[in-house]
Amino acid sequence: MPEQEFLPPRPPARFHRPDGPDGYPEEDPPPWANLPPDEAPHDLPGGRLGRPAPRAPGGRALRAAARRRRRWLILIAGLVVVAGGVIAAVVVPGGPAPAPVVPGGLITTFQPGELQTVPDACGTVPGATVQQYLPGKAKQASPLPIDGSAESACDWTIDQAPVYRLLELNLLAYAPSGLASGDGSATYAAIDAYAQTLQGLQDPPRNSADPRAAITALNGLGNEAFGSTQVFRRGGAVTDVATVVVRYHNVIVTATLNGLDHSNRGTYGPVSLSQLSSAALAFAQAAEAALH
């Protein structure tokens, strides 16, 4: 008989599982793969492996069913994530796209209605208003902004005895901040600043020489507003101060009018606190109207 050609043993055949992903081939795992320890091969003396414990009938079918269940669970989880993203995009108000957020739900961009810049403070108050509440020749100065176009300030001064007035108008647009309360939006940052200003006037720090202010809530101005009055007595001089603070979305408008009621040198005064309050209110209203 002719010698038979020696052929090495063939590796286990690959197969396509009907339930596999995209029909990709997968090798049949060894009999002991992923089985409990009591079904794994046991060492015998001499380093030989004993035969594995017999499988329970239908084991391959059970594993195939488990794999199908896992794939369905993964698919369902993916659909839930996609649906959650769609809902998040719908509930964010305004704008063509949802607001970018960071873990924890913090808003990192300006929202509809919020301002990134403010108008020139000096230009927000009509000349007639300035003349009405600051009669005479008021000197106007525009301090350099410290926050670029997000802030603008303007000062009007009259120093003609017996009248001394200093009106300071400031507009500041807040940006989103991770240090702000709520969702960290620019509006919440302004809300925090507004509350801190109010608290500082109502209850000054113990080491401060500032007197407590009398606070009045103002309706119909911005999203919220208040007015305050204070009387400073230092070195024999008496200065009355009226302040109006307005929040419009993420912008804080502050108008403060100082009036020298009594000086330790010269002849200044007297001053009417109610007139100072009316002037501060008029300047704040003009500035707030320019934000719309």
Q: What percentage of the chain has pLDDT greater than the value 70?
A: 64
Range from 42-46, 55-59, 104-108 carrying the lowest mean pLDDT: 42-46
pLDDT at 209: 87
Which CATH code for domain 121-289?
3.40.1000
pLDDT at residue 105, rounded to an integer:
80
pLDDT at 282 over 80: yes
At position 245, the amino acid (one-letter code) is V
Give the length of the chain: 292
Closest CA to 169 of 124, 204, 136: 124
pLDDT digits (tens, 9 = 90+) for 191-238: 999 999 999 999 999 888 899 999 999 999 999 999 999 999 998 899
pLDDT at 280: 98
Torsion of CA 183, 187, 188, 191, to 10 degrees: -170
Could you tell me which residues come within 8 angstroms of residue 22 by beta carbon, excluding any fewer than 6 positions away? none
User: Which three-class secondary structure state does DSSP give residue 44?
Assistant: coil
Domain residue limits, the chain: 15-91, 121-289
- Per residue in 158-202, pLDDT (tens digit) is 999 999 999 999 999 999 999 999 999 999 999 999 999 999 999
The tens digit of pLDDT for each residue in 26-46 reads 444 444 334 444 444 444 344
Report pTM. Answer: 0.65
Q: Is the pLDDT of residue 48 over 80?
A: no
Q: What letters, b where the CB count within 10 A reaches 16 and e where it falls short, cover 116-129?
A: eebeebbebbeeee
Residue 24, classified by CB atoms within 10 Å of its CB into exposed (0-12), middle (13-18) or buried (19+), is exposed
